[in-house]
Structure 1
Amino acid sequence: MASSALTYSRRYHVFPNFHGQDVRRTFLSHLHREFVSKGIVVFKDKEIERSHTIGHDLIQAIRESRISIVVLSKNYASSGWCLDELVEIFKCKEDQGQVVMTVFYDVNPSDVRKQSGNFGRAFETTCQKKAEKVKQRWTKALTDVADIAGEHYLNWDDEGKMVEKIASDVSKKLNLTIVSRDFEGMVGMEAHLRKLDSLLCLECDEVKMIGVWGPAGIGKTTIARALFNKLSNNFGLSCFMGNLEGGLMKSIRGVDDYASKLCLQSQFLSEMLNQKDMKIRHLGAVKEWLQDKKVLIVLDGVDDLEQLVVLANEPSWFGSGSRIIVTTEDKKILTAHGINIIYNVDFPYEEEALEIFCLSAFKQKSPQDGFEKLAKKAAKICGNLPLGLCVVGSSLRGVTKSEWELQLSGIENSLDRKIEDVLRVGYDKLSKKHQVIFLHIACFFNNENVDHVTAMLADGNLDFTNGLKILADKSLVHISTDGKIVMHYLLQQMGREEVVKHSNEPGKRHFLVEAQDILNVLSNGTGTESVVGISFDTSKIGELFIHRRAFERMHNLQFLRVYRSHSNENLSVCTIEGMDYLPRLEDMEFLPRLRLLDWNSYPGKSLPQSLRPEFLIKLNMPSGKFEKLWGGIQPLVNLRKVNLNFCFKLKEIPNLSRATNLETLTFIQCTNLVKFPSSIVNLYKLTIVRMWGCNNLQVVPTDTNLKHNINRRCTSTILRSFPDITRNINNLWIRGSPFVGRNRNRDFKRLPHVPESVWNYEDLSRSDMERIPAYVRPHTFINKNCTKQRPNVVSRELQRLTTHVPQRLSKLDLSGSGIERIPDYLSGLHRLETLILENCTKLISVEGLPSSLKYLHANGCVSLERVKFSMLLQDSDSVRELFFRNCLRLDEEARREIINHRFAKYVCLPGKQVPLEFTHKATSTYITISQGNFCTASSRFKACVRYDSIKDHTLFSIYIIKVEVQIGDVWKQGY
């Protein structure tokens, strides 16, 4: 019978069973009004004609209800109709699990159970002339209903509060009987809700306002809706106000601002109280209606502070225990309103993103056979944005492989309309000035360093620093931990499409980023003063023709970047005149405002004399074919960075004496460079000079006297003498030729030795003697007076350590050396923090480690058997990393000691199984452990993650493991 009951549709939430004369116009009318305010659908029997027995319509209504409420009053038993309904209600309870609730309204439960007192006398009167079977059915039903605990009217001083309690109980029971599948299977939703539960602190009686912040399309509304569905039945009143950023709020900025605010409050209260077209006369109405009520409110898509002022100005507007949840793209709105509890919705992990996409594209959690690569490509194009994943996935459902490839190609170049409509909302609300900054980042400076972009856009009219903060607050960009500006791929695409909309003629747009558009402009010479930046990926074209005067009218060009995203050996480059190489930009005199010249593989022998570089900030021209940049002295006062790496034909560095703000100069692998420029001797801001692989370098200035120069790296196989180096240098890199092992005598015959004086400089903090043979090194590594800043020593040729290791040493790198064991006196190096023993294949044991050690890297030590940690146990909290990857001979005792003791925040051990000490295991991204007495907010946990395989380039993924632990309402996390 239970299975047949499933065929009934559930039209009603509640079926009321009552005696009309006793309660219809009093208690029941109040209860009905409360039900309506909560959106609870109640069956009404006004239109059903009553007879001696209940008819089919009433039986159907009972069966189509989720809950029956039996209101037992003094005259209840005088109605055979009520008793027949009660019998049918208990049939539904037995057959289909219908919930039955009771209210004893001015009647004693024991009288109902025993059919005694006035209630019993009324029952006996009703039973007269009835068959005994009927009386028995009624008697059993009354006995059963009396045994159901319910609300007793006499226990309440305030009928209104009793009505609220009953309505709230019904709402909660409905939540249990109505299983919402709206968010079933939604990837990552459970984790979001767990975190938000801890922030909401529902057991707390104070009023809390919570912000849910993140970019458009990240899923804020979906998360808020799922949270609302989960929690709403715990509150007396609840309301989800959506579309605040759309049509609902546009009126608030109308002519009569006060009237529009009244209108908004009216709409809000109508939703909250479930009363149509409520009219209010003043803006204090929300407080008047709700200040004594426990409410749950979601304000979705808030984009203006005034919206919060109108709808939820103060916590005092709402009753104890209320929760107000605000979703927005603009963090500044939350902080301005005093909302400090903010949940930042992160992008899903790659695995989650692929699952979201596959659910839309294939209706399953993984790609269909043969679609694996295409599915991953699609997820990557969407940049893990849930909105994009769902929209693109749905558009590809059921199409062939060839259609997939065609559509994905189109998506890469043009946004889907649904995605664009959502993403551009935040952009449209920016001021014109901030839109300009947005477009600069979208077209040119995405994933660039903040300081670099700040220098490039140092224009008083833009106020870039403040503008960048506004973009970050509005979730249009974010700043990575390494200081880079990161804009989501789809937002970048939207910004670039916005630039295209400005003009149908590419030469009149502010930015040119599409290769074909740039080709048309350069080959036809149609560029204008509107062009500010060109970012040209030449790998996307097959043949390039450039007009000799292509830049003549681009007077405002500030940023020029020419690069290849991938190799294109078939690219044919020539000018209109038929030259077989790219022009040397004879018209660079028409580029007076150029700030960035970033040209990979520049084909000319030099830059033109007409170049006007006074505004140039960065010169980035690696792999160029030129022999020199320019002749003479140029005005370079704004120049900060020069990169000439891998310019194999470069013979000389230009005169840089006027580059007084130069900070970085690199010319790695410039194999034809003979002389280091003496013009840099007074460049006091120059901090980094890198010249690795300059094997023909013969002359380095004898004393650069660079007061703040902190990093010099040099490689040369024919350096005639070791230069006198200023004592202000504290990073010194001296590396030999890559061929040192093949012909040592030839490589270093011109370098007799590295002078002892190098080691006497008190400011020297890092010495890397890698690949320099022992016979040209100082006789001692360092003297006892060395360095206040703790040097580092690297040696890959040692068979054993001598006693000349400096006491102030902070880092010792012996990777690839032939040592077999670490000597005991190493424990006396009380400042040693890092010991690197990578690929020391003869190393058997590591013992006597100093207590100061924080990092021990011994990956690839295939002979390593023993490691002793006795000194580390004295201060176990100080150790951060112990890496023993591929140390397959490491004994069990060492492994157990590492696992069972508290030291080392990160450990990498070889093995195929999770150690037995980790008793709780899971293959998913989370695990639930029952809370014991040991579980407190200050408890420590160890988590073990097993990788199937780790290649060298994936080792660093260890650092992005994020572990989150929830103990009660407290969340703790670590990386």
Structure 2
Amino acid sequence: MDGIRRKSRDVLMVGIFGSAGIGKTTIARALYDEISCQFDGASFLANIREVSKKDGLCCLQERLFCDILLGGRKVMLLRRDNLMESKFCTKKVLIVLDDVNDKKQLELLAGRHDWFGKGSRIIITCRNEHLLLRHKVDESYEFKKLDGLEALALLCHHALTEEQSPFKRFLFLDNIRARCENNPLKLKVAGSYLRGKEDANWEIYVNSKFLKVSYEDLLEEEKDIFLDVACFFQGECEDFVTKILEKPDFSAKQGVQVLSNRCLLTISEGKLWMDNSIQEMAWKIANKQAQIPGKPCRLWDHNKILHVLKRNEGIHALIEGISLELSKSKDKKFSGEAFSEMDALRLLKVFLGSGCVNDKETYKVHFSTDFTFPSYDKLRYLHGHGYQLDSFPSNFEAEELLELNMPCSSLKQIKGDEIHFPNLIALDLSHSQQLETISNFSRMPNLERLVLEGCRSLVKVDPSIVNLKKLSLMNLKGCKRLKSLPKRICKFKFLETLILTGCSRLEKLLGDREERQNSVNLKASRTYRRVIILPPALRILHLGHCKRFQEILKLPSSIQEVDAYNCISMGTLSWNTRLEASILQRIKINPESAFSIVLPGNTIPDCWVTHKVTGSSVTMKLKNPDRYNDDLLGFAVCLVFAPQAERPQLNPEILCELKNFTFFYSCGEDSVDEFPESDQEWGNNSTEHVWLAYRPHARADRCHPKEWNHIKASFEVFDCVVKKCAIRLIYK
């Protein structure tokens, strides 16, 4: 693969193809780790086959943008059209697209050579060479199985401790290598199983099906986790899965770590992944297990699920988990009889695949009107997209339930006497258009996350919510009929995020001046309130498009981000000497913390800049580079921008490039598509705005040389005109 390392200014696309489990990802990762420091930006997109299926290609585009331009810092992109080619074409980048299986993935993530700057390298791993040929890669390599010596070395690395000699076990090792067909994944699984085992176990392993033996060697609790991940939780976050699978006498986190050590699953960026061949083995085990009388049953194939739910075959009482993707099933009418017998049910997941997000409210599960849930003693996770009944059955109790998700349901109200969820951590009823009230939150005292986004009929939040001592997230975005919130809504000591975006009838929000243990993020764009009294520990404040908003009575010292884009009635929170001085003081007290603020206006504060110009870029000469590098705390940039007359922009996205160091900021927070009537209700904005941002020097150290003689900042605001810009270096 010399072409990848070759110092050429050409853009090269290189493909690596071969069968599953032979080490394509491993070699791509090794190349990435070896040469990534030579590029302006780098990104390794792993498990594209599974991630695109679960989260969609837009998620991968967003990840690629953030990795290349923002060093991995996550943002939500409102505009993606031509974003890759327009932003990457001047940068020398290294991108690895791992486990690609569809031409659309390549077209959206690495469409053409001219998307990327000179010297860029794009590495693609896949099983099918034809996919590479169709995409016209420059070079392709077939990654074949290891030869005998390489395979033995890999097996010894995983199977033997430092004290053990490979010579005494050579015959065993060579037989196992042959049984594994020199396949790296199989060798890793075999070696991980054999490590520390007595010679007798080695002899048994030589004559056995190695994957099955590795499974049989697990504890019963570890086997359950293995099968649950394979059937229900591929690609899910480790923290979420371990919470759901935790048992009083067994740590799910410890069990996941054992599976990882045995190479039966991998943990990548906090998510659980299982190789296809291992997952297929797990499915076979689960299917066989379901046919044994008295053994638990897991259902994930939609045809099998529909067959079982329509026919009483005597296995309902043994079903522990169901995962049904709605988009694969035309007939979704169920009676309650089958569910009433599922006393062993732990996991119930009725969901939409990533390809159905645009039609999510058209998918419903139709239950008969006499539908009843039994009192589930073991149910810990319930996700029911499109639940069709207008209330929960009166006997619905699930004391072990940790997470309840029912997006796009037909629920009208949830009465306190209908439910009892003492251990519930998360409740998501987003886009339940008919939901009006939830009463008596005391029936779910351990709730940490409450998501009611898009519940347009919600008229009030029950006052009992203030008794939820552990609540950290409350999302009321798009609740358009909501007029008020309970007093002291911000009293929760652990509340981290309060989202009120689009609550257009909400008039007041009163904070709590009591001491808090942590700071809070408040997102309240597109509301009509005039006055806000904020909690003293506020980290993020979003007020975009609040056209009637007039003042904030106090701006807390803990603030990191303020977005007041298109707040045209704003009075007291305009640029003034006191505000400028307080921001500068905040930066010097906490120089490692970034800061950003957007306000209506057309003047760059004089005390904030040392170099300002008309236009979209500014260059500043440095007189003393050595001292500059020793004493520099960070960079402050500022610009004045206005929407283009012919293309008024409700949500500008700002891109600032400081050599190889990039700022990105999205004003107004939300996509116009989420508020279809916004053009008439909010009007088009033509007001000039000022954006000021600070980033600590530490974030740029890996990108910049130790000594500079100048620094240049370039700005772009999509569909807007940059009128002025400025830069200042903040010293100790």
Q: Structure 2-normalised TM-score?
A: 0.56
Deviation per CA, 1:352-376, whole angstroms, max 9, x where unpaired? xxxxxxxxxxxxxxxxxxxxxxxxx
Name 1:544's counterpart in structure 2. 332
Deviation per CA, 1:76-114, whole angstroms, max 9, x where unpaired? xxxxxxxxxxxxxxxxxxxxxxxxxxxxxxxxxxxxxxx
CA contact (8 A) 1:754 1:776 kept: yes
Name 1:844's counterpart in structure 2. 616
Note the C-alpha offset of 1:512.
0.6
Task: Pick the structure with greater CA Rg.
Answer: 1
Equivalent residue runs for 1:810-889 within 5 Å = 811-813=594-596, 822-827=604-609, 844-845=616-617, 851-853=632-634, 881=662
Relative distance call for 1:903 and 1:495 in structure 2 (3 A) is: closer
**1:554 alignment partner, one of 342, 364, 367:** 342
AA aligned to 1:794 is: D
Note the C-alpha offset of 1:792.
1.7
Note the C-alpha offset of 1:852.
3.7
1:754 is aligned to 2:527: no
CA contact (8 A) 1:447 1:484 kept: yes
Relative distance call for 1:425 and 1:666 in structure 2 (3 A) is: same
Note the C-alpha offset of 1:471.
0.2
Note the C-alpha offset of 1:610.
1.2
**1:485 alignment partner, one of 265, 269, 272:** 272
CA contact (8 A) 2:154 2:187 kept: no
**1:794 alignment partner, one of 563, 567, 572:** 563
AA aligned to 2:347 is: F
Structure 2 distance, partners of 1:798, 1:197, is: 49
Relative distance call for 1:764 and 1:186 in structure 2 (3 A) is: closer
Share of identical aligned residues, percent? 22
AA aligned to 2:246 is: A
CA contact (8 A) 2:407 2:429 kept: yes
Aligned residues: 494
Deviation per CA, 1:446-505, whole angstroms, max 9, x where unpaired? 222223222222224554222111101011122222x22222344323312221122449
CA contact (8 A) 1:602 1:624 kept: yes
Higher strand proportion? 2
CA contact (8 A) 1:820 1:843 kept: no
Note the C-alpha offset of 1:771.
1.9
AA aligned to 2:606 is: D
CA contact (8 A) 1:667 1:690 kept: yes
AA aligned to 1:563 is: F
Note the C-alpha offset of 1:724.
3.9
Name 1:464's counterpart in structure 2. 252
Equivalent residue runs for 1:647-796 within 5 Å = 647-704=432-489, 705-715=491-501, 716-727=503-514, 728=516, 730-737=519-526, 748=528, 751=529, 753-755=530-532, 757-758=533-534, 761-773=535-547, 775-778=549-552, 782=555, 786-787=556-557, 789-796=558-565
1:638 is aligned to 2:426: no
CA contact (8 A) 2:321 2:345 kept: yes
1:904 is aligned to 2:676: no
Relative distance call for 1:661 and 1:266 in structure 2 (3 A) is: closer
CA contact (8 A) 1:671 1:694 kept: yes
CA contact (8 A) 1:544 1:572 kept: no
Deviation per CA, 1:530-583, whole angstroms, max 9, x where unpaired? 110011112212223423311122111111111222449899999xxxxx9423
Larger RCO: 1 or 2 (CA < 8 Å, sep 6+): 2
Structure 2 distance, partners of 1:859, 1:474, is: 56
Note the C-alpha offset of 1:659.
2.0
Structure 2 distance, partners of 1:190, 1:533, is: 37
Structure 1 distance, partners of 2:242, 2:347, is: 14
Equivalent residue runs for 1:293-304 within 5 Å = none
AA aligned to 2:531 is: V
AA aligned to 1:731 is: V
1:500 is aligned to 2:287: yes
Structure 2 distance, partners of 1:694, 1:470, is: 44
Structure 1 distance, partners of 2:632, 2:224, is: 54
Name 1:627's counterpart in structure 2. 412
Alignment root-mean-square deviation, CA: 5.5
**2:222 alignment partner, one of 422, 434, 449:** 434
AA aligned to 2:560 is: P
Structure 2 distance, partners of 1:573, 1:450, is: 28
* 3-state SS of 1:329 partner: helix
Structure 2 distance, partners of 1:618, 1:186, is: 37
Equivalent residue runs for 1:214-253 within 5 Å = 222-223=145-146, 225=148, 227=150
Equivalent residue runs for 1:16-35 within 5 Å = none
Structure 1 distance, partners of 2:452, 2:249, is: 35
Task: Identify unmatched segments of 5+ residues in structure 2.
Answer: 1-21, 36-125, 128-141, 180-185, 198-207, 569-573, 588-592, 622-630, 645-654, 667-696, 708-717, 720-732
CA contact (8 A) 2:298 2:319 kept: yes
Deviation per CA, 1:855-893, whole angstroms, max 9, x where unpaired? 979999999xxx999xx9xxx9xx9535699xxxxxxxx
* 3-state SS of 2:319 partner: coil
Task: Identify unmatched segments of 5+ residues in structure 1.
Answer: 1-184, 199-216, 229-239, 250-260, 272-296, 304-325, 338-419, 575-579, 738-746, 829-841, 886-900, 909-937, 941-950, 953-975
Structure 2 distance, partners of 1:668, 1:509, is: 36
* 3-state SS of 2:348 partner: strand
Note the C-alpha offset of 1:656.
1.4
Relative distance call for 1:614 and 1:584 in structure 2 (3 A) is: farther
Q: Structure 1-normalised TM-score?
A: 0.43
Relative distance call for 1:468 and 1:581 in structure 2 (3 A) is: closer
AA aligned to 1:707 is: K
Note the C-alpha offset of 1:441.
0.9
Structure 2 distance, partners of 1:517, 1:545, is: 15
CA contact (8 A) 1:769 1:794 kept: yes
